[in-house]
Amino acid sequence: MNKNVRIALWAALILVIWFGTGLLESVDSTESEVKTVDSLTRVQVVNSQQQLFSPTVSLRAKTKANRAVDVLAQVSGKISATLVQEGRPVAAGQGICEINAEDRYLRLAQAQAALENAEIAYRGAQKLKAVGYQSELAISRTKTTLATARTQLKRAQLDVENLQVKAPFDGIVENRPVEVGDFIAPGSHCARVVELNPLKIEALVTGAEVSSLNVGDEAIVVVAGKEYQEVEISYLAYQANPMTKGYRVEAIMDNPNQALRAGISAQLNIQIAPVQGHFVPASTILLNDKGGTVIRVLDSKQIVESYQVSAIGESDEGIWVTGLPEEVVLVTVGQNYIVDGEHVEPAFSANSATQ
């Protein structure tokens, strides 16, 4: 056998070995792919069951005076005395400013005398009428005079009573811009009185939240880390604020000794009606293609399903949600690597007791 033949045989042998090796690799690759297709994704799951949960709506709020009124003068004159200092408590009916009486007591005495005279004249006219010596016109005139005298006396009495500008309710004199010697006219500002007991708590809620609230619902107010119980919702707006699109909600609370002032930042926590929900780890909540929050669960055949859920409460351990069936097998680990309709291999965690 010459040299060329031997070279040709060696080349042919090498080609046969090379093609055989490639075929084996192809077979091995196909078998590997089959094994990969046949293997199921392993996920960790727990059983979860609905529980009764009382959601809390937490709102940023501020304290507000229950009432605030500008007390105005009803008669004119110079201020003769200031009876309550700014920042001091005042009782309902207590005088705050006093106006110089001038001749008002004299006018009152004159009105009383005029009324006595009119009453005497009217009684005399009635006696004369009884014996036929008085006409109906004269009787009418004396009756009119009597009514006028009574009106003038009442006017004089009111002028004297209004010499003191009085507080309309128990509160605090927040502002008193007048001093002794100032002249004020009817309608002039004497003082501003605010009522801080009870105290209002004001906040804004969204359109979705306001439908779950009712007047009379109980709440808790937190101010500077301190909780105040026995707070009650007193008002819910029916029209949204045009700027914030929120609805005003007000709560009322006791504030003995005016311990809390108006205008302080607070948190209003409102307890709403209990609902059925699942308590799930925060990591189980995913976003779908439409931006909705979903949770992946397994059906009885270990097929993946997604349910859109709504969060109704949270804590450090997890989140309360609605939208799931009464009992579910919840995927807690691996939910990011599976899709709806996929058949998976579940592994129950050690603490897979009903959530």
- Summarised one tens digit per residue, pLDDT across range 47-104 is 999 999 888 888 999 999 999 999 999 999 999 999 999 999 999 999 999 999 999 9
Residue 239 burial by Cβ neighbours in a 10 Å radius (0-12, 13-18, 19+): exposed
> CATH second-level architecture of 68-190?
Beta Barrel (2.40)
Give alpha helix (H) positions in the chain.
3-38, 104-130, 136-161, 207-210
pLDDT of residue 36: 45
Q: What is the mean pLDDT of the chain?
A: 86
The CA R_g of the chain, rounded to the nearest whole Å, is: 44
Task: Please report the beta strands in 126-259, taking only residues with DSSP state E, as ranges in sequence order.
Answer: 164-166, 171-175, 183-184, 189-205, 218-223, 226-236, 247-253
- Paired tokens of 352: 């897979």
Which residue type sits at 352?
S
Range picked from 35-44, 123-132, 306-315 for highest mean pLDDT: 306-315
Band of residue 143 on the pLDDT scale cut at 50, 70, 90: confident
SS3 content of the chain, % helix, strand, coil (to 5): 30, 40, 30
Q: How far is CA 151 from CA 37, 104, 123, 144, in A?
A: 104, 15, 18, 11
Residue 117: closest CA among 109, 129, 106:
109
Write down the CATH number for the domain with range 57-64+198-271.
Answer: 2.40.30.170
The pTM for the full model equals 0.64
The fold of the 41-53+275-348 domain, in CATH, is: 2.40.420
pLDDT of residue 351: 58
Where are the domains positioned within the chain? 41-53+275-348, 57-64+198-271, 68-190
The pLDDT tens digits of the residues spanning 191-243 come to 999 999 999 999 999 888 888 888 998 999 999 889 999 899 999 999 998 99
Describe the crossing of helices 136-161 and 104-130 by its angle, rounded to 10 degrees.
Answer: 160
Task: Give the separation between CA 232 and CA 224, rounded to whole angstroms.
Answer: 20
Name 304's bridge partners. Answer: 298
